[in-house]
Every structure is written in structure tokens, then in C-alpha cells.
Chain A
Amino acid sequence: MAEMQNSNPTILNAADLPTRLQPTTRKSEYVGIFTSALPLAPVDFESALSSDSEDDNLLEEPIDEQEIYDLISSISDPEHPISLGELAVVSLPDIAIKPTLPDVPDSPLQTVTVLITPTITHCSLATVIGLGVRVRLEQSLPSRFRMDVRIKEGTHSTGDEVNKQLADKERVAAALENGALMGVIAKMMETCH
């Protein structure tokens, strides 16, 4: 890159980034939401032993906002060797998981909404960052998830334009077949595990 668009970005301390282990309020909220999913009574060992272990493998672990955050916060900024989490381009409160079809209670479809905050309002790399986030999620999450990756309102001069591109399935599919673009995105994801 010839010239950096933002040569001095604000960087968060890695220790301050949200993690599963941190005893924050976020965690207690997490437990609250998924209480029903956890075994309340002591585990019934007899039935646990008799149950087919393959059944357990088929059961998909519930995916929460923290897990989405962990997937995308480790992506590197295309300009800096710094993660999107450290740059606060992605943050836990800006991630939401909601049922895609609220009127169909037994539908497995869920929509993951990720709001991206570009480091500067005219950053032309916003589309690349958004695409990186969308590709990372599409490659990591089961197919029942629908991705809704958008620029956070008011944080970018051409946010609507970028959002329309990121939401366009056909454009995203074509981008995935574009070698040069995928090279950039692969480099951003080198820091992902």
C-alpha cells in the first residue's frame, strides 16, 4: 500500500478485550440467557453413559455473541498488523444473534448481525474489512446462519453504499472467485486460529 489512510490508529490493550474467561457483567448475562440450555440438575450419569456418543457429536454447540467476536476480532486490519478487536473495528456490543424467521418458532435459521466501526470515516478499506468479516463468518459458521455485516450508522461517509455491496450475495460470491481480493483477505486472516 502506497500510503496509509490512518497512520496512527487508536489501539486497545489486548487484556481489555472481552473474552469468555473474564468475570465481567457480560459473562453473567451470558449465563442468564442460556440458563435453560445448561443442565440444571446434577448430571444423570446412567443415561449419559447409555446414550449414543454419536448423538452428542451431532449436537451443535450453541453459538453466542462472544464466539462470533472470537472468530472476527483476530482478523488483521489490511493496513496495520493489528487485529480488528484491538482497533475496536469490531466490538462485542455490536454483535447480535437473532432468529431469522421469528414467526416460525422451530426454524433453525439465525441471523448474525455485526456492526463495523471503521477507524476513520472515509476509509476506503471498509468494504474489504466488511468482506473479510463476512467471509470469515461464512467459512466458520454452520449454513443455518445468515450474515448481516454492516457499517455502523454514522461512522462512514459512504456507509449505505458499502452496506449494499456487503449484503449482495452475488457480489460476495464473485469476490470469492477473485484471486487478488482473496489474497488480501487471506492475509488478513493469517492471524486467525
Chain B
Amino acid sequence: MSPKVTITHLSDLTPPSQERTWLTAPHPTLPIVATCSSDKTIRVYSLTNFTLLSTITGGHKRSVRTAAWKPNMAGESVLATGSFDATVGIWRRWDSYGQEDGVGLGMNSDDKQIPTDTLTEAPNGTDTDTAGREEDEEEWRFAVLLDGHDSEVKSVSWSASGMLLATCSRDKSIWIWEDLDDGDNNFETVAVMQEHGGDVKCVSWHPSEECLASGSYDDTIRLWREDLDDWGQVACIKGHEGTVWFLDWEGEEAEEKWNGPNSESVSESELSALQTQWRSQRALSGPRLLSCSDDRTVRVWRRLPKESQQTGALSSAATGIPSIIRPTGTDEVWEEDAVLPHAHELPVYAVAWSKRTGLVASTSADGRIAIYEERFVTLEQEQQADSDAMNTTSGDVLQTEWVLVGVQDGAHGIYEINHVAWAKRADRGSGGEEEVLVSTADDGSVKVWTVTR
């Protein structure tokens, strides 16, 4: 009855790490990814030919747990890495990647031939000035080590503008750093937030606003904003019954071709009405937040539109009792939008919300990759569902449902999978706007999958 997606293995990224890999971060514009490994290194792979381009070594003394690419960079790539050694590393490299294999990257090419092997070993022999400089230009340059956390760094995230970097740790704190971009690699500590009652497992910035979401060992999700120069908590979401392992935001409509939930069972006229309604609802609430947890569930959270919060405040005012303890202007109310269909038998370690298709992917210690799709619930279905209910006020709240549309069991054999991410497809077989799913596992393997309807 429900159309399914097909999950097909496209390639492995080779050669793999021989130790556990935690996370693979796709570059925002280039067809490369960075994989974090327990062997204290970061491997940079090409999504064009699925081979290793560089291994970044020497920066971290323990497992590299997390990495994130700074957005809005031109001509240079900047990678932030977080490690169990309690530090955050910043690495820089001039963009010349992928040119060597002759496949267009949509980048400026200066016709320079760059050898495929760009490992960080010192160049052998050719030590003329020119060769030395070219060699340097191919290398990842260690820029700075951000020191501040007391214990393992679990997650790092750049704000949409690339100005702010958020880091979090087992020390229960979140640090926000401002990249001063002064050419001297200086970062300034903007805020340290310590409200979480346990390890902060993940941080994730809103796709456009300076709003940070964090998930924790204390089972809560918290949202943070700056108000009059002070960073503070604006919401604490309690719902999960276990550690919140990972968060991801819904894409923003402006930057996507996606027209909202899938709607094959809906007629044309009905569809356009639903889409209009869906867009206006989205405009009021903003992008939703996706979370996964040790409690085996994947959930979607929605911010209540400000106006309905004000309505609440007004109605309390109508009782005649003036409320002195009014929520400040920055407080937000978030409510559970959906619990996705059950798909995992063990802790769910990562979720990824496609900005291109709206599909959600999740993965777990159970070795599974699951794909979910959001669909409009048509009027008839809705009426059928609550035929006994009084006063079905259809139109007020737009109904959607999440459907489990694909499951890949044993995606990395017997191994636990730690991370999934969507990335733009870049190999020769691709036809433009396609997307691939990149999964990262305990045995060090990273696999690339296509997901087709």
C-alpha cells in the first residue's frame, strides 16, 4: 500500500580506518567528507571516486569524536574537530581538492596538476621553493587548538553564518566561540552554558538563525539564544526517556526545492491547498527539530508560534489576575510534533533530515539504517480516523503522518553504526540533484548509499 524507497549500496570509502569511526561530515559545497576515527585521525575522502584524499594526523591525543565544516567559505576549507582529549582543533586547507581526478567540482581550476596522494607525510626529495610551496598548499594546516572543556568533547557545530562555533562535552557545558576571522586564527569565548545535568552529547545550530539546540545524557533537549548580549536557555524539552544522542534541523524552505510532505494519494487541487497551509504553518513555527535517543525513538519537535503563546498569556490576563512572572520575550514553547514509527531495537545514535527531499534517516547500535517519509493525511483519511470524534475541526491543524519507507538490516554487517548523513551525489553515475546517504560504523567502514523512490 505504501510506496517504499530502495536503499542501494553504492560504494565504500577506501581505504577505511582500522579502528572505530564515529562520524562522517560532508563538506557544505565540495564533494568531500571528513571521517573521525578512534585512531586519533581524521580521514578526508572524495565522494567523486570514494577514495582517501588526506589523513589529518598529529593534532589530537585521543579519539576524534566529531567534526564540522565551516560554512560560507570561499577558496579555503575550515574543519573543526572535537576529541576525547577535551580539545577542539581547527584545520585549514586551500581548496584544490578533487581537481586531480578530472571530474568537475564547479570550482575554479588553475590547471595545476596535483598528485592524488596527498597524505600528510613530508614530501620526499624535491625541495625547491616552488615544490615546497605547492606541497604546503595541498596540506591541512593546523590552525589552532581551542582549550576550555574539562573532559571529552562530544560534538561541534558551526552557525549558519560561520561566525560562531558551538562545542559540548562530558563536562556538562556548552561553549560558544566566535571566529574572529582576523587572519591570526583567534577565537573568542562568547558564552559558557552549564544548565544541562549531564554530558552534552550533541549541539546543532538552527539552519539560519543564531539559535542552538543541544541534546544530553540528562535526557533533555535545550534551546539557546542570545538576549541582550547574554546567551541563555529559551526552552527545555523533556520527552525522551533516555540520553538524547543526536539532533538535526528541518531544512529551510528558501533553500530547497522540496514541496513538503509526500502527497501521492492526494488530488491536485487538494494538494495545492494542503501545501499552502503547510507553508504558512511552517512560516509561523520555523523549521522543526529532529532528535534520537537511547530510548530507541526518533521524534520531531515543533515550536509553538509566538502568536499562540501570546494568546495563552492574554487568556490568563483575562482571569483578572495580573501575572508578574510572565515569560520573557525569548522563552519558547516546543511541543512534540511526532514520534516516528518504531524501527530500532537498540540506542539510536544518529538522525539526518534531508534538506533536499525531506526524507529522514536514522541509525542505531542494532546495525540498521531506517528511512522515513512524511505524508499528508487526506481529508477522507482524517474523517475516517475520527468519525466518532465530535467537531472535527479540519483545517485548523494540518495532519501529516510519518511512514517507515525503507530499512537496511546489517548495513555494516555485524557492526554498530554510529552516524548517518545526507550528501550531494558526486560520482560519475549521478544525474545532478541526487543525494547519497553516508553511514559510519564501529569497524572503521564508511559506506555510501543511494535512496531511490
Distance in angstroms from A105 CB to nearest chain B CB is 11
- Quick one: given A170-B154, A170-B201, are A143 and B415 in contact (CB under 8 Å)? yes
Complex CA gap A164/B345 in Å reads 17
Docked complex: A156-185 residues within 8 A CB-CB of B:
164, 167-171, 173-174, 177
Q: Which residues of A contact B65 (CB under 8 A)?
A: 170
CB distance from A118 to the nearest CB of B (A): 22
A106 CB to closest chain B CB, in angstroms? Answer: 9
Residues of A within 8 A of B416 (CB): 146, 169
Encoded as 1 (CB less than 8 Å from any B CB) or 0, chain A from 7 to 28 comes to 0000000000000000000000
Cα separation A169 to B349 with both chains bound (whole Å): 10
Kindly state the separation between the CA atoms of A101 and B407 in the bound complex, as whole angstroms.
13
Contact between B243 and A173 (Cβ–Cβ < 8 Å)?
no
Interface status of B46 (Cβ within 8 A of chain A): no
Report yes or no: A168 in contact with B346, Cβ–Cβ below 8 A.
no
Which residue in chain B gives the minimum CB-CB distance to A108?
Answer: B414
Cα A146 to Cα B366 with chains together (Å): 9
Alpha-carbon separation in the docked complex, A46 to B416 (Å) = 41
A48 within 8 A of B: no
Residues on A with C-beta less than 8 A from B62 are: 174, 177
Q: Which residues of chain B are near A187, meaning CB under 8 Å?
A: none
**Contact yes or no, A109 B154, CB < 8 A:** no
Question: Is B414 a contact of A109 with CB atoms below 8 Å?
Answer: yes
Instruction: Report A-chain residues with C-beta under 8 Å of the C-beta of B345.
Output: 100-101
A36-71 contacts to B, CB under 8 A, are none
- Please indicate which of the listed interface residues A109, A142, A171 has the most CB atoms of chain B within 10 Å of its own CB: A109
Q: Which residues between 86 and 124 of chain A lie within 8 Å of chain B, taking CB atoms?
A: 100-101, 104, 107-109
Instruction: Say yes or no for A80: interface residue by CB 8 A criterion.
Output: no
Chain A residue, CB-CB nearest to B61: A177
Main secondary structure, interface of A, reads: loop
Q: In the complex, are the beta carbons of B366 and A143 less than 8 A apart?
A: no
**Does B135 count as interface, using CB distance less than 8 angstroms?**
no
The CA of A171 and the CA of B151, in the complex, are separated in Å by 11
The chain A residue with its CB closest to the CB of B62 is A177
Bound together, the chains give a CA A38 to CA B206 distance in angstroms of: 58
Q: B38, A100: Cβ atoms under 8 Å?
A: no
Is B365 close to A, CB under 8 A? yes
Q: Decide: A100 and B366 in contact? CB cutoff 8 A.
A: yes
* Contact A174 to B367, CB < 8 A, known contacts A143-B415, A143-B442, A167-B294: no
User: Is B84 among interface residues, defined by CB-CB distance under 8 A?
Assistant: yes
Contact status of A169 and B347, CB under 8 A, knowing A109-B366, A177-B84? yes
Quote the shortest CB–CB distance from B266 to chain A (angstroms).
Answer: 32
- Which of chain B's residues have a CB closer than 8 A to the CB of A100? 345-346, 366
* Interface contact A174-B442, CB-CB below 8 Å: no
B63, B414, B415, B443: the one contacting A173 at CB < 8 Å is B63
Q: How far is the CA of A93 from the CA of B410 in the complex (A)?
A: 30
Contact A171 B347 (CB under 8 A): no
B15-26 interface code vs A (CB 8 A; 1 in, 0 out): 000001000000
Tell me the nearest residue of chain B to A104, going by C-beta: B409
Bound form: Cα–Cα A142–B442 in Å: 13
Chain A residues within an 8 Å CB radius of B170: 171, 174
Chain A 124-158, CB-CB to B under 8 Å as 1, else 0, gives 00000000000000000011101000000000000
B410 touches A143 (CB 8 A): no
A168 to B170, CA, bound (A): 12
Contact at A144–B414, with CB atoms within 8 Å?
Answer: yes
For the complex, give the distance between the alpha carbons of A168 and B242 in Å. Answer: 10
Report how far A177 CA is from B294 CA in the complex, Å: 23
A86 to B198, CA, bound (A): 35
Which B residues are in CB contact (< 8 Å) with A107?
A: 409-410
Chain A residues positioned under 8 Å from B63 (CB to CB): 173-174, 177
**CB pair B414 A174 closer than 8 Å:** no
A177 to chain B: closest residue by CB: B62
Contact at B409–A101, with CB atoms within 8 Å?
yes
Contacts of B243 in A (CB 8 A): 164, 168
Cα–Cα distance between A170 and B153 once the two chains are bound (Å): 11
- A173 and B38 contact, CB distance less than 8 A: yes
Taking CB atoms, residues of chain A closer than 8 Å to B151 are 174
Is B91 located at the chain interface by the 8 A CB criterion?
A: no
Q: CA–CA, A106 to B399, complex, Å?
A: 38
Q: Which residue of A lies closest to B40 (CB)?
A: A177
A146 to chain B, nearest CB (A): 7
Give the shortest distance, in Å, between A138 (CB) and chain B (any CB): 11
Q: Is the CB of A146 within 8 A of B346?
A: yes
A102 nearest CB neighbor, chain B only = B345
Is B248 engaged at the interface, CB distance under 8 Å to the other chain? no
Q: How far does the alpha carbon of A171 sit from the alpha carbon of B345 in the complex, in Å?
A: 20
Residues of chain A within 8 A of B442, CB atoms compared: 143
Q: Please, how many angstroms separate the alpha-carbon atoms of A107 and B414 in the complex?
A: 9
Query: Could you show 28 A-B contacts with beta carbons less than 8 Å apart?
Result: A100-B345, A100-B346, A100-B366, A101-B345, A101-B366, A101-B409, A104-B409, A108-B414, A109-B367, A109-B414, A143-B414, A143-B443, A146-B346, A146-B365, A164-B217, A167-B294, A168-B199, A168-B294, A169-B347, A170-B65, A173-B38, A173-B63, A173-B84, A174-B62, A174-B84, A174-B151, A177-B63, A177-B84
Given contacts A143-B443, A164-B217, A170-B199, 4 further A-B contacts (CB under 8 A): A143-B442, A170-B152, A171-B199, A173-B84
Residues of A within 8 A of B (CB): 100-101, 104, 107-109, 142-144, 146, 164, 167-171, 173-174, 177
